[in-house]
A and B are shown apart, each in its own frame.
Chain A
């Protein structure tokens, strides 16, 4: 009777098994790596905007407080983007003829809003609330990276759920209060670091504060800082177990 399997069957089997053994993990790892890479998360990838707004110029060089434009960050889930009127509050007197600012003037005159490209986004089934984070004294750079040094705004952190959980599961690693300014309310702690940075420069900041300002902070493992963090968690009434409840963000 004829042979069912030709001699090439050996090679095919070998090749298939080898292929699977190498290919499956490779594809798996590739997808895993790619989905965490800036190609997908767009971390550190500047996004072009209709108007080349520079945070470095406005927030750092001019020292304008974040909340001058992002007005609802302490009250609402959205931080808010400035209305055209806010831009015009200065640019009706400064750089009034700059071609770069033409879209702003156009928008103000015609009443058509400016359509910015969204840099920091979480999916629609996640309800993120800014104000509660601000009320815990979390500096903007904790999540948004070194905004004051961004010429063109880019995403500072991946905003994938795993990244959010790193803090939500262990808030004592991230919660921080400037001990040199015990008089400040948590809300004020948020913006305190910028002044400190401006006035003393990087050298005047602690290592942690430096990392925060430069966007390289990933939580502290220093036991003293964690102790301070735990105390803050208690003072603020943060219920750590509840922070990781799904319905806190997904509802």
Chain B
């Protein structure tokens, strides 16, 4: 594994066999499908493993701490190394200066006026993702940024934040970043470059500038200035995630280049056509959409009108999972479906086709819904759908006069630039003298037929300005280090065009310079970034009234320019396309950005590599995701290695079975398989032994061609005789297992119609009867008699979209380490929050529900009495405290926790981060990485830690603390100010980052607080309440709003007259059960014998 590179190879071999059995490895798909069809046992299942229930799986589940013996295979020297002896001496003051180094305290020479040591400062800035800006507030401790949070004033983030922007803080302190100017493999300087560049550019006949997406007004101005200074320049734009179909579709249909933005507060009916508008990797406006979308799904008490969502998609996405009705169809079939919808609305269409697995009457019911909703309906198409689909969707939205969609000029200005296909032609023709690549990584992510590496060498000079030492830097003649967004001045536009500032939090850590500075100096005006930015806005004019200086200060302070969004354009007379692409009858492949490492730019970011993808829960790898039926048809099973052939290119990739995936449709996430990028990006797949020839995951960019950037057909699959190791986090900590006889009330969901009819219906029939809970309670009612706040939290499952923003926020706030692929395989991932994924139904199209779970701070915590050293005790404010310095690592507390929310530091993760333990890679072109500099790397990553939270060493248990550091801070501030704490003053990191505001934290002793009201909501229930743990975190049941024409709303359940009978495991068979004697006592209560078919409530 990455963490102990001191181990010998043979010990690695032992570890491999002892790891968790490969999820669904070598399993009989028929058996799994049969079990699901028979619906025996529990209502909810978490993974295919659970259904298959093999001997290995049982063995895995039986042991609370699996694979303990792997630690015994370590040799003694490494064991001591990992024990982190220095921790033990923390308290011995007398040793300092004698045989431990004397502690130093170092003040400033000139202390900045606004800086108070120990009090963090917040600065507004923005972080780009594929060119689009996300407004953030960056927390800074003594001049170094430690956490990125959302900027409430920014329309794109509204205070919340996605996983990519949050994890960018780790990118700032990445030891593998580009540090100095590299010229043909030798370290050089900016002066030398500038001298050379002037000569190069002056003598160049043709210059090509390749950028990614550009929304920044200042950057655009610099590109114009560059072009003015060098008239024979062509601007090429390329982003791996291709969004041109959206613009092209609207261009052909309306005559102008446009892109749609949505206002989901006005949408009562949403139809998603292969779109995941809640996913930030697909939509730059995802956070705003999520907030608005959630506001239409939110039900408070018994009031709330839920929107209705229909989704047609090829792979389960965040939208499809939230949908009330979902159909799994191939992405090539979407065109036909769009045509069918248009036709049903009276728009003349060339072609319309509804796939076979979509029931005709259901489709008609959906159309009825749309017609009835009229302008409060909206159809959204995914950006990877062909342009014709977007044209049709625009026509549909126009026909129903949807109020939820607006059209603006494309925010990304690079749609006017030439494409990478044209660049390839120009390069291959030998006409390019200078190729200047600004950002991005085209050598890695360009489509396969562009053959970028080969063609780039045909240019006389290649200059690359980028943050990472990556594949493109390796082939460039001049590889220039670019600053990180937290180190530079600049600006960006959000998804709606709003301008936000990029403000540096720290001077460039290395010798980086920002893109605008480099372009400006290459245009002959070497000015600092701040002056470029301010100069641009002074000259271009800033929206708003008043003096420029005042507006400028507002801009820097707030981080946004108010009212700078693009003005929506009116569109009329939309033409429908002449042709619609045909359905594809072969196996299709879809290329999608990865929900954690995006398009590979975050491949060296440990947080994101280890973050489980929301749907697949896959970490550290990509795979060919397919349905079980397709796999069975091809003779494959989970984790088989296949040779995936698209056109004339092929890759070797593992198979991942995903319930809900459309048949004959394969999804691969691109971004993996980096060969140059840093220790994390190139972590190998075979047990973690670093191997320079293997990257983490598989590079599928080569399979894409210019004509098939998003999907391709005619995929050929050959099974190879190998097994892949695909590591997921689901199934590591189930709340339900074979050992527990009764079905536990882990998840509550019901349709809103049933809920409004009778709130009691939210309680499942297998729930432990309330009277029994009260009867069995041996404890006194009052937990504490103490005059002070009692902390509690609620999590609304109804609005949680499963985006993982809370997981990353918690990791950033609490210094949670990255453990590496091998350790995740052993079930040792350290995320304090996990989002459990529960399936209901069969594997073809299951209903999926998310359940975020972290320490629920039980009032009667089972973990507290069993700690031999009292390291986890209860505070007077209701917190279950974790005292790291007392913990001796017995792990009895985790053993006792029924929620399995405790995390144990098996190894010294905080010091042994893969980022700086792996040895230097032997690639000559990438220098600046001597061993000493590698040693310096450890200091760099430590700068990232939040100083308000203790960093845990080996042998320490940790868990969610309700952000006790924030509670303590707020309490101290309120005491200093002499007032009480206000509701909403303390916001936990997870609450802050959640785009849908599903997490609410506060004082449950205060009847007026938001959390109290939510805790008493009819949907609220305490997880595993029957165990008498009395958790402080309650969950609110999930509601769905199905169309009664499609899914009939079940009749009310008969009221239970007697209790203590277990119906749980026979829930599915209740239809027949009414005839059996065992349930005779049920049938007398109401006159509803034998008529209730509760099956309808559970699936489609």
- Give the B-binding residues of A (Cβ under 8 A): 35, 39-42, 47, 71-72, 75-78, 80-86, 107-108, 111-118, 121, 123-125, 127, 129, 131-132, 135, 159, 236-237, 239, 241-242, 245-248, 250-251
Contact = CB atoms under 8 A, between A and B. Distances in A.
Nearest to B814: A251
Contacts of A81: 105, 107
Given A72-B118, A84-B108, A131 B976 contact: yes
Interface string B84-128: 000000111110110000111111111100001111000000000
Contact of A250 (B119, B876, B885, B948): B885
Contacts, number: 143
B515 to A, nearest CB: 30
B982 interface: no
B961 interface: yes
Interface centre among A108, A114, A123, A125 (most CB of B within 10 A): A125
B108 A83 contact: yes
Contacts of B976: 131-132, 135
Interface centre among B97, B105, B106, B873 (most CB of A within 10 A): B105
A131 B976 CA distance: 8
B117 A248 contact: no
Contacts of A159: 93
B685 to A, nearest CB: 37
Interface in B956-991: 961, 964-965, 968, 972, 975-976, 978
Contact of B102 (A76, A108, A118): A118
B877 interface: yes
A245 B107 contact: no
A125 B950 contact: yes
Contacts of B108: 83-85, 113
Interface of B: 90-94, 96-97, 102-111, 116-119, 786-788, 873, 875-877, 879, 881, 883-885, 948-951, 961, 964-965, 968, 972, 975-976, 978
Given A247-B964, A248-B968, A76 B109 contact: no
10 contacts: A41-B94, A71-B111, A80-B118, A84-B109, A115-B104, A118-B102, A236-B975, A242-B788, A250-B883, A251-B961
Interface of B is mostly: loop
Q: Which 8 A-B pairs have the closest CB atoms?
A: A40-B94, A76-B118, A81-B107, A118-B103, A83-B111, A247-B881, A83-B108, A78-B118
Given A84-B107, A115-B104, A251-B964, A125 B885 contact: yes
Contact of A41 (B93, B107, B117): B93
A76 B119 contact: yes
B109 A83 contact: yes
B948 A127 contact: yes
A1 B106 CA distance: 76
B974 to A, nearest CB: 9
Contact of A40 (B93, B119, B875): B93
Nearest to A244: B876
A39 B119 CA distance: 34
B877 A242 contact: yes
Contacts of B964: 247, 251
Contacts of B786: 239, 241
A111 to B, nearest CB: 5
Contact of A132 (B110, B948, B972): B972
A124 B90 contact: yes
A247 B103 CA distance: 25
Contacts of B949: 251
Contacts of A129: 968, 972
A221 to B, nearest CB: 26
A3 B302 CA distance: 90
Contacts of A40: 92-94
A123 B91 contact: yes
Nearest to B870: A246
A172 B873 CA distance: 25
A135 B975 contact: yes
B833 to A, nearest CB: 18
Given A117-B103, A251-B968, 18 more contacts: A39-B94, A41-B93, A72-B118, A76-B116, A80-B117, A83-B111, A86-B111, A113-B108, A129-B968, A135-B975, A237-B978, A239-B787, A241-B876, A242-B877, A247-B879, A247-B968, A250-B950, A251-B948
Contacts of B93: 40-42, 121, 159
A245 B876 contact: yes
B290 to A, nearest CB: 31
Contacts of A121: 93, 96, 103
Given A118-B102, A121-B93, A159-B93, A80 B119 contact: no
B107 A246 contact: no
A173 B104 CA distance: 33
Nearest to B962: A247
A245 to B, nearest CB: 4
A125 B90 contact: yes
Nearest to B105: A118
Nearest to B964: A251
A75 B965 CA distance: 16
A72 B968 contact: no
Contacts of A72: 116-119
B109 A250 contact: no
A108 B111 CA distance: 12
B117 A131 contact: no
Contacts of B109: 83-85, 107-108, 111-113
Interface centre among B107, B109, B118, B949 (most CB of A within 10 A): B107
A127 B968 CA distance: 10
B104 A117 contact: yes
B860 to A, nearest CB: 18
A124 B104 contact: no
